[in-house]
Structures are given as C-alpha cells and as structure tokens.
Chains A and B, each alone.
Chain A
Amino acid sequence: MKKKLILDEKAIDRALSRIAHEILEKNKGAEGLVLLGIPTRGYHVASRLASVIDSIEKGKTPYGAIDATLYRDDIGMKETKPLRKTDIPIPIDGRVVVMVDDVLFTGRTIRAAMNALMDFGRPNCIQLAVLVDRGHRELPIRADYVGKNVPTSLKEEIKVYLSEVDGVNEVVSITAEEKQ
C-alpha cells in the first residue's frame, strides 16, 4: 500500500481560509448565504468554513447538513447505504446555497444532493465548494471553489481525515500495491 500526503493540517486550514474569502468575494459578503455540507465529512468542512467566514465578516452564517442517500442513482444496484442526518437550519428559498463536500469525484453525489435540495425549496443559486477535486467526472458538474486539484488514477483512493471524526487533519492518497 502506497500512501502519499496531499494536504497536511496547515494546508487544509489555508485552503479553507482561501475558499472562505473566495465565497465572500464572489457573493459580495455573507448576506443571504447558507452552507450545507454532505455528511459525514462535508458537514464538518461546512462548519469550519462557516466559522472562518464568521471571523472575517463578524456575522453568523447558517450551516447545516444535506444527506443525498435517498436520492442516489444506484439504489437497487448496490447494498443499501446507511442514512445520515439532514438538517437545514433555515428556509433556503431565495438564498445562496453553498454545498460543501470533502472530495469531488464522479459528481453523482452532488447531483443527488442537488435533487434533495430542490425538495426543500428554490434557492437563488447553488454553488459548490470542495476540499479536493480528484477528477473523473461522470456528469457535467464542476466546483466553484476547490481547495486542491489532485490529478488521480482510478486505482488511487483519496482519504480525508478530519479531527471531528478521525482525530487528525490530513488528506492522503492511498494506492493499493499491484499484486505480482
């Protein structure tokens, strides 16, 4: 097994602080923003982004969780996935929703999450922030804010560890050894 460090704790913090500034720049402030993370780790990235935004703008940016499991396109093709919580703190009608995930890969989770979101209301616009974009999209989806672009092979696995769930903060790439 080959393990390569992609982001360490400091690099994650810097990436999040840059993304927070970009979100504020693009939306001209934090007015009308709501951050919704995709559980489990996307939710924690959203909560961190919200606190960085709050420290810049001295406000209270609402954030929550949106689970996409019930909207997936592989239901009935794979084993049932455990459900995570959905917690939308305020009505999203007319707001700017920034969806947050840890890794952007095929784009299928994001498609499912967008469908889930539409059942909660009609946001003015939806943007997407991810900590790592590893490529290999299968749908026409692209992130508005990216912590780090990582070209990967399909044999690699990108693992995001966050202190809230895993005790450490790092992003690594893991490649299983080829069997000789």
Chain B
Amino acid sequence: MRLKRKDLLGIEELEKDEIELILSSAESFKEVSTREIKKVPTLRGKTVINLFYEASTRTRTSFELAAKRMSADAINISVSASSVSKGETLKDTVLNLEAMNPDCVVVRHSSSGAPHMIARHLKSSVVNAGDGAHEHPSQALLDLFTIKEKSGEINGLNIAIIGDIAHSRVARSNIHGFTKLGAKVTVCGPPTMIPPGIESLGCRVTHDMTEAIKHADVIMMLRLQLERQKKGLFPSVREYSSLYGLNKERLKKAKKGVLIMHPGPVNRGVEISPEVADGEHSLILEQVTNGVAIRMSIFYLLLGGVKE
C-alpha cells in the first residue's frame, strides 16, 4: 500500500486507487486530531519545509499542523523574509534548502509548473500546495474526503463548480478528482471566466447558475478574485454577485440536502451570502478540519515508506 510516486504534484497524474488510498488513510488521521494528545510519533526525525511564494493562512497552517501532529519538524519560509527578496533564483533557493537534508518540501508558487521544476532537482519529496492556475491537489483531496464523509460515495454525484474557473487551480484539481471517482461535474461562470476547451477535462459548461445548481448534490463556490476586476472580466462586483452569487433565494432552486462548499477565503456577500456560508448546508469549516487529516495522510504515504 503506497503511492507510486516521490512527489504529489497534481491530481491529474494520480490513479484512482492512489486517491482512494489517501482518502481512506485520512479517516484514521482525523481521529488523531480529536485526541487529548494530538500527536503520533510516526514521522519522528523527518523534516518538512513549507516554502510559500504566495500568501496563505489556511493551507500553510494546515500543512504545518499536519507535519507537527506526525512528529515531523516543520519549518516555514515566507518569501518576503527570505533571500528571494535579495534576488536568489527559485532553483538556487531549493538546492540550498536541500543541502540541509529535508525530507519533504511543500511549495506554493504563482507560476504554474514551479513545483514540478523543483521536484526534478530535488531528491526529497515535493508537495504542490498550489501552482499558478494549474493545480492544488491537497485542496481537491480534502474536498473529496469531505463529500465522501457526508454522502458515503462520490460515484454518481452531480457537482456544480461556480465562479472564476479560468484562474482557479482548485477547480482544475477538483474536476480531475471528481471525474476520476465517477462524479458528473458542471462548471458555471461568466464566459470570460470559463477557459475554452475546459470540456476536454470531462465536465459540462453552463453560464446559467440556476440551471447549474438545479440537479447538484454539491455546490462548490469559488472565491471571486477581486483583483481580477481590473482586467475587465466582469463589469461590477454587484452584477457578478447577482448573477453568480449563492444566496438564500437561489438556494431554494437547488435540491433539498445539497452540500455547500468553498475553499476559502470567503468574500462574504460576493460569491456567497453570509446566511448560506454559515447555514446548515455549509461544509466550509468541516473542509478546514479535514484538510489537516488529508495532509497528514499525504505526509504518511510519501514519507512513511521505504526509501528507494
């Protein structure tokens, strides 16, 4: 029972049974976080470096807690306080870090493919914590885990992903994950935010939100990246919100027991109204809890086995 790889860079290249292995191990790790002593000695003596070239609260904290609860030593490097601000290249930075013998480097970078480049240069495992608009595999895994926990089964579910699909690495990883486990995915957003050819990933496209959520078992809202408004992808926040925001009124058009998800951070009142974000269908905080378990599972499966 092991992952067939050194690194976790994306969902696209994972096989179905590898995804299922990560999810099933995470069930046990979730229990560890409920104990009085939230720590197991499994990865004693291993070192994990969190190298974040982009801002993050949830993901970085989650990876750090996951490493610490497995007894690994976790070091955080944020770019503003590092040599990167002195002009060191990405490759030099990671080779210098590797010279200190870490076992795993967790990378977030604004350029798609940066973790893949790093992985080619390092002997240690590399985990992609979000690269540009490409992939965010641990987020997709925790979303799959959360849905599986609630619904028992991913196969056959209808999933609606709504928002800025073009710039969303969460959407891309999730589309791969859901389709691999047999769910039907519909993506929805204004035409300027739907990348051409996204259907080739196996999802359906619509621009009508009511139609997208009508048959959905799960509605996944994406954060409206407000900084994008300058690029003219949508005329105004208010218009976006009225067409693609999830509020109480619109939720009435969805199925009764529909699950609401959001990867955070939430723009309250923009893509999701506060009553819905805090409402009974919302799994937003559950997603955060499960994120730690998923990342413990990733560390266990990447670092806990024999070294080649």
Contacts and interface: CB of A to CB of B under 8 A. Distances in A.
Given A70-B41, A76-B304, A76-B305, A120 B36 contact: yes
A76 B305 CA distance: 5
A82 B1 contact: yes
Interface string A63-85: 00001011100011111111111
Interface string A101-128: 0000000000000011001110000000
A80 B300 contact: yes
A67 B28 contact: yes
Contacts of B32: 70
B254 to A, nearest CB: 34
A71 B224 CA distance: 44
B244 interface: no
A120 B25 contact: no
Nearest to A91: B36
Interface string B287-308: 0000000000000110111110
Would you call the interface of chain A mostly helix, strand, loop, or mixed?
loop
Contact of B1 (A75, A76, A79, A115): A79
Nearest to A73: B41
Interface residues of B, number: 25
A103 B223 CA distance: 53
A86 interface: yes
A76 B307 contact: yes
Given A115-B41, A119-B39, A80 B28 contact: no
Nearest to A83: B28
Interface residues of A, number: 22
B40 A70 contact: yes
A84 B304 contact: no
**Which of B2, B25, B42 is most buried by chain A, counting CB atoms within 10 A of its CB?**
B42
B18 interface: no
Contacts of A78: 305-306
A58 to B, nearest CB: 32
B29 interface: yes
Given A79-B305, A119-B37, A84 B28 contact: yes
B103 to A, nearest CB: 10
B25 A83 contact: yes
Nearest to B29: A83
Given A84-B28, A85-B28, A71 B304 contact: no
A44 B117 CA distance: 49
A86 B24 contact: no
B230 interface: no
Interface in B1-59: 1-2, 21, 24-25, 27-29, 31-32, 35-37, 39-43
B28 A76 contact: no
A42 to B, nearest CB: 16
A80 B29 CA distance: 14
Contacts of B1: 79-82
A163 to B, nearest CB: 24
Nearest to A85: B28
A69 to B, nearest CB: 8
Contact of B2 (A70, A79, A119, A120): A79
Interface of A: 67, 69-71, 75-87, 115-116, 119-121
25 contacts: A67-B28, A70-B32, A70-B40, A70-B41, A70-B300, A71-B40, A71-B41, A76-B304, A76-B306, A78-B305, A78-B306, A79-B1, A79-B305, A79-B306, A80-B2, A80-B300, A82-B21, A83-B27, A83-B29, A85-B31, A86-B31, A87-B31, A119-B35, A119-B37, A119-B40
Given A71-B41, A77-B306, A87-B31, 18 more contacts: A69-B28, A70-B32, A70-B41, A70-B300, A71-B42, A79-B305, A80-B300, A82-B1, A83-B27, A83-B29, A85-B27, A85-B28, A86-B28, A86-B31, A119-B35, A119-B37, A119-B39, A120-B35
